[in-house]
Amino acid sequence: MENASKALIIAGAILLAILLITLGILVYNQAAGVINSNAMSDVEMQQFNQKFTQYEGEQRGVTIRSLFQAVLANNSSADSEERKVSVTGSFDIPTSATDISEELKKVQTGSTYTVSCTYGEDGLVETIDVTGNTN
C-alpha cells in the first residue's frame, strides 16, 4: 500500500511538471507573437501604400489638395515615425507637419502636377514628390 501511494505522488509530480512546461511554452509563443505583430503583413502594406500611390502620375491641383489632406491624416494618426510620409518637390510637408494651410495656398487648382512615390527599406511609401507649377 505504501508503494502505491508513493507511485501516485510521483505520477502526480510528473503530470504537474509536464503542465508547467506546457504552460511555459504557451506563454513564450504568445510573447513571440506580440513582438512580431509590429511588422505589417503584405495586405496591410498594400493598403497603406494604396492611400498614396493612387495619386501617382499627372494630377490636377484639386487632386493634389486631396493628396495633402491624405498625408496630413496619415501623419496625425501614424503610430510610429516609419509610417509617416513627407511631401517634397514643389511643396514641402514634413512628416511632423500639423498645419498645411500654407502649402495648400500654393496649389493652383487649374495646374497640372506630377506625383511620384519613393519607398523606404520596409516597402512603405516614405516620400511623395510633387512637381509642377507653384506660381
Q: Is the pLDDT of residue 66 over 70?
A: yes
**pLDDT higher at 119 or 81:** 119
Please report, rounded to a whole number, the percentage of residues in the chain having pLDDT higher than 70. 91
Residues 6+ away with beta carbon under 8 Å from 35? none
The whole-number average pLDDT for the span 28-33 is 77
CA-based nearest residue to 122, from 49, 33, 64:
49
Read off the pLDDT of residues 94-131 as tens digits, 9 standing for 90 and up. Answer: 777 777 778 888 888 888 999 999 998 888 999 999 99
Give pTM, 2 decimals: 0.65
